[in-house]
Amino acid sequence: MTTLADILRGIERGVFPTPDLGITVVPAPSPREACVVAVTGHVVVAADVDPAWVAERVPPGDLSAPTNPPFLSALEEATGRRVNGIDAMLQAPALTDAADRDAATAGLTEVTDHAHPRVERAWRYRDDVRVYIDEYGGLVLTGRGLADRVECAIEVPEDSRGNGHGRRLARAARALIPPNTHIWAQVTPGNAASFRTFLAASYTIVGSEALLVD
């Protein structure tokens, strides 16, 4: 049986679901979450619902319906979860050159104090969270999130914005993971500054997701 993890690992390799205007229904990736993932020409509903239930609510070929409020509200009711947000999905391969990795992580220090609000939130939705700060107060964290993919988040102090600080942190995230993996970032569509940051760090937009959580 195909799982969401299979699909996301395929995307990391550049293998996307067939753009056939179809919908694939797979099991929820974990007891913690369900989601709707949209890529070019295809939608994946990862939730413990019957494919017939989805088909009843989505007109054939209508790939906007699964990410619109009527369907998501029905999915909330069916799963007992709430939509946490609709984000763009970006991903990038790990940096593999040793010199690049060392340069990207220079000045970062791993911390064990997880009282920062961004860190507390990360532990609610991710496992194996690791947190790093730099000398300017910037923060980058990594952890395993949706379908066990490796995810990152960054925090740039307000007085340190506009000078490439965020780009450096986003690039550092690519050096904080094993060389044979990819890292994912979720960005709300209206956050143009964050989009620019991750694109400048060579992340690629691969689709969107609506995450449903407890």
Q: Could you state, in chain order, the average pLDDT of each consecutive group of 10 residues for the chain (214 residues)?
A: 96 97 97 96 98 96 95 98 96 97 95 74 85 91 96 87 88 96 96 95 98 94
Pair 155, 138: CB distance under 8 Å: yes
Pair 188, 89: CB distance under 8 Å: no
Question: Which pLDDT score is estimated for 121?
Answer: 74
In the chain, where the domains are located: 4-88, 89-205
Return phi, psi of residue 123, to 5°: -70, -20
CATH topology of domain 89-205: Aminopeptidase (3.40.630)
Question: Which pLDDT score is estimated for 162?
Answer: 73
The answer to whether the pTM exceeds 0.75 is yes
